[in-house]
Amino acid sequence: MDSKRSSAAFAVFAAGALLVAGCGTDQNIPSGGINPALEGLQVECGEQSISAEGSSAQKNAMDVFARDYSLKCPGEQLNYTKSGSGKGVSAFNSGQIDFGGSDSPLDPEDGEDKEAAARCGGNPAWNIPMVFGPVALSYNIPGVDDLTLSPEVAAGIYQGKITSWNDPAIQQLNPGTELPDLDIVPFFRSDESGTSENFQEYLTTATDGAWTGEGKQFEPAPGVGQGRDGSDQVAQSVQGTPGGFTYAEWSFPKNLGLGIAKVDSGSGPVELSTENVGKAIESAEIGGEGHDLRVDLDSIYGNDAPGVYPIVLNTYEVVCSQGYDPETAKAVKALLTVAANADPDQLEEAGYAALPEGFKQKVLDAVDAIA
């Protein structure tokens, strides 16, 4: 990278703030100033801004990445549109954007990998995970700020089997808590969503198959719940509805101040915290070939060890291994390198857990191999 460009990015914070304001992702940017890891980071900035689209689950992380990218590569921007994982993959495969954001890897059964390879000039596309985000079981129960749920109860709510907050199955998990005779109002993602896909996979694994829904389209029992488009909409619906309940990435209920349930997988209640999510990530197995880094989340979802918070998804950036023009390749590599080095504290403030150090190096190796 040009040392003058790097020095200019860090010389005057006010100048960096102006760049951020122009990048189009100025909401939910954490406080705390410049990420110190960027100052000595070497990247080769491309001579163009980057366009990307997809997962709303990683939108708040993209705000962090966009701010850091504009500081590291002055004059360049990340323009990220949150539209859902399905639309992000489609936009990438049709060549409308430089990379797609998805909460799940390309699906070979749907032909997504072949479409992506065609878009990349006959070269394979890679799924590169950038951050891990816990999924919260979020609720709005007036007067109740400490609640424990189990995967069986969460599944039962969306199956229409558990309809009131004082149901015996919930009361058993919360001895000593006075739960109201209040209807549960479930909300779910109505759009195609990697969050829904991962949450359904979690329910299936954690309930030993009692939940049968699968895929990006959430599948509650007929007539159960209300669908909303996007994670922000389901969280806002819970906020405005006494008795409301949903699943959403940590950042959304966290930013709205909603109740977040502890999860009891059989070894006692576990709070959603960075430490407890980290224990789950440490257990994850890595699949894929070469630099295609697919995370086997079943090894997380079925983990019932004490202190492990198991509802964790990871966001992927779907990129071409080869096939970009030279300047686009430089820009994509610079952005992803910056993203992999995001400040852990700033990511936590935004509702995410940073890449574990060992896995971070695998990500950086994959990014460096993009041609």
194 is in an annotated binding site: yes
For Cα atoms 100, 368, 127, give the angle at the middle one, nearest 5 degrees. Answer: 30
The per-residue pLDDT for 299 is 87
Is 59 within 8 Å of 89 (Cβ atoms)? no
User: Has 103 been labeled as part of a binding site?
Assistant: yes
Binding site annotation covers 267?
Answer: no
Residue found by looking up tokens 């999924």 in the block = 135
> Would you give per-residue pLDDT tens digits along the chain (371 residues)?
443 333 333 232 223 332 333 333 333 444 456 688 888 899 999 988 999 999 987 898 999 999 999 999 999 999 999 998 899 999 999 999 999 999 889 999 999 999 999 999 999 999 999 888 899 999 999 999 999 999 999 999 999 999 999 999 999 999 999 999 999 999 999 998 888 988 999 999 999 999 999 998 999 999 999 999 988 999 999 999 999 999 998 988 998 999 999 999 999 999 998 888 888 887 778 888 899 999 888 889 999 999 999 999 888 999 999 999 999 999 999 999 999 999 988 888 888 888 878 788 889 999 999 99
164 is in an annotated binding site: no
**Full-model pTM:** 0.72
Whether the Cβ atoms of residue 188 and residue 220 lie closer than 8 Å to each other: yes
Domains and CATH numbers, the chain: 3-133+315-369 (3.40.190.10), 135-278 (3.40.190.10)
Location of structure tokens 């799924």:
127
What is residue 33's predicted lDDT score, i.e. its pLDDT?
A: 60
